[in-house]
Each structure stands twice: as structure tokens, then as C-alpha cells.
Structure 1
């Protein structure tokens, strides 16, 4: 079972933030009560990543406790080309609307090295016409990497909008690290790091 939400946490508990180095740059993480509430992909600089994460969460810089350090280790390993399963990382999605929560759960279940499409996720949730709404939910994803919005692509494997500093380039870089196949029928260059083949 996908674990993405827990009982709402007391609002007065302090939120803390920290940055951690990865092969794609310094990422950010925020937590309270030893549970992750947000992550952030690298911005143009580490200072900007820290500033934006603090502004979004109201958190103060802190030293990650053991459970958060373990999650950081797993996320870093994934970005170092290890097939790491992040589905056991406990996160808090209290306050997220129910449809977006379903979208994030569907994304959370996509394994590294695979992709899906906005339309496929919409169909999975009951109405393929909601592909645009799925895209809007992805744009508000509070937990990139853990909730792998980079694994959702457009029809035919088209790499569309993404929240990282370099947008689609960041998305492509992460998919390449994961060995994702994006595109149509097998071809001459399928053994290269990235071809693009979404799950249907």
C-alpha cells in the first residue's frame, strides 16, 4: 500500500528545512514531527533553493533527524542511478485536496525507469478528460522526487512543463538517470540513456 498521508499534525509544531547535495544540484527538504512535509528540486543556486523552501513552508533551518536523514539518503541514491524504492518514505499531505492526493498516490506508484501520461493517470482515476486537471495537480506537487512528477509525460512521450530550475531539462536529466524509456516502437538507438516510452 502507498503511504502518503498521515493524521494531520499540530499546526504549532515547528517546521524545519535543510538542503542536501545530489547529482542534479542541492535539493531541499522540510519536515515536522520527523515527517516530511515538502521537498524542492534545485533552483539556480542553493541560496535560492533554501529561500524558496523557507518561504513556502515557514520552516527554519535545522539538522535532519534520523528518519529524515534516511529519506535524504534514499533520494540521493535514486539520483545516483540506484534503483531505490521511495514508496516507504512517510510524508504528510494533510491540507491537500482529495483529487490531488489521488493523483500523487498514482504517481507515487510509478517505479523508477517507467513513465505514465497525464491521460493515463486521469483514466486511472476514473475520467480521461481530467488530464489537464492532473497536470495542474502535478504543478503543485509538494514532494518532488518522492512523488515522482518527472515520470509523467505528455502523449507520445512529449516532455512537458516541470517545476525544476531548468524545467524540462531537469525532467529529462532525472529520467535519464533512472534509465526511463520514452517514445514509440523500439529503434536503433534504444540502448542510449534515454529513449522515451510512456506506460499506457
Structure 2
């Protein structure tokens, strides 16, 4: 059975976002980029068979929540229906645990791996899941930090600078990128 994905581009106080959805739930979110064209290209890379569509009332409410978030107001996304049908069971468990991190809360890759009893390679596995997160912000991977409270990576537009700005928006103290992250542009 093939799942049909639809998407739309919308503007926030921080730039243009894209949201994708299916009949199951939200399947993708592109964090703010500088232009609608760049955001559209990114949305099409993730969902090449998707179709641009007018959002349903439910998706319009999600878009308003995303706009509220990027305007700097406390926003909760934990009640939204998600379509994680393309993800492994392990990644679904990781994303479910990550969704429990509310506004202004953070954890580390290692702590999340410990909570999920993932063993020795757990922190690496958490990092891989965060890098492949199809629905950033709604699955708040920006709230998962590297050891010692360092930023870690961030694959969204703007990299770790975007991650830092999102954490600051939520009132979390400034976190520094490690020199290696800065030199490689993570």
C-alpha cells in the first residue's frame, strides 16, 4: 500500500518552512530556510512523489503552532499525530522518548540511550536517529545535546547555529559548539 504525502510551504518569523502529511499524520517538517524556493526543493527531495496541497484544518492548526514557536512563544507539539511509517521500530522508540522533552528541557545522547537501555553504542544510535529525524521541532531533536552539554550536530538549515537559536528561544542557556564542530560546519 502506497502512502500519499502532501505538503505546503509557509512563512514564519524565522523563514520559510515546509510541512508534509499523509492520512496517518505529519510525515515531515523542514525548519526555516531563507527562501520558499530552497524550502520547496528540500521538501521535494524528502517526498519526491508528494503533491503540493491546501492544508486541512488540522494541518493549518499545526502551521499556526509552528509560527507561534518561531515567534518565541511556548508551544507544545506532543499531542500531534505523526506518520513514522518509514522508520524502524528502534527509531520510533527513540522519537517517542524525544517527544517527551518539553519546552525548555534538554538531555544528552547518552542519557537518552541510557533511558532506552540501548547499550554501549546507544549514544551513537541516538545521534544517527536525530540526524535522520524527518519531523524536527515536532520531534524536538534540537533538545538532545552531546556529552558535556555541547551542541552536537544539527542537519537543519543553519546547522548548529539554528539549534543554538532554538534552544535560546526556549530559554536554555547558551551552549557552545566544540572546535571540531565549528571547523567542519556542523
TM-score range, shorter chain: 0.7 to 0.9
Equivalent residue for 2:171, pick from 179, 196, 199: 179
Deviation at 1:44, TM superposition (A): 4.6
Are 2:79 and 1:88 aligned? yes
The equivalent residue for 1:134 is: 126
- Distance change >3 Å, CA 84–CA 107, structure 1 → 2: same
The equivalent residue for 1:146 is: 138
User: What is the CA–CA distance in structure 1 between the aligned matches of 2:80 and 2:106, rounded to whole Å?
Assistant: 20
The equivalent residue for 1:156 is: 148
What stretches of structure 2 of length at least 5 have no aligned partner? 177-186
Moved over 4 A (4+): none
- 1:45-84 superposed matches below 5 A: 45-57=35-47, 58-84=49-75
TM-score of the superposed pair, with normalisation by structure 1: 0.81
The equivalent residue for 1:191 is: none
Q: What is the RMSD of the two structures over their aligned residues, measured on CA atoms?
A: 1.7
Are 2:113 and 1:117 aligned? no
User: What is the CA–CA distance in structure 2 between the aligned matches of 1:56 and 1:195, rounded to whole Å?
Assistant: 30
SS in 1 for 2:21: strand
Equivalent residue for 1:107, pick from 98, 117, 120: 98
Are 2:24 and 1:21 aligned? no
Structure richer in helix, relative to its length: 2
- Distance change >3 Å, CA 42–CA 84, structure 1 → 2: closer
User: What is the CA–CA distance in structure 1 between the aligned matches of 2:86 and 2:4, rounded to whole Å?
Assistant: 17
Deviation at 1:34, TM superposition (A): 6.9
Deviation at 1:150, TM superposition (A): 0.4
- Distance change >3 Å, CA 64–CA 14, structure 1 → 2: same
Deviation at 1:158, TM superposition (A): 0.6
What stretches of structure 1 of length at least 5 have no aligned partner? 1-9, 182-193
User: What is the CA–CA distance in structure 2 between the aligned matches of 1:115 and 1:128, rounded to whole Å?
Assistant: 21
The equivalent residue for 1:166 is: 158
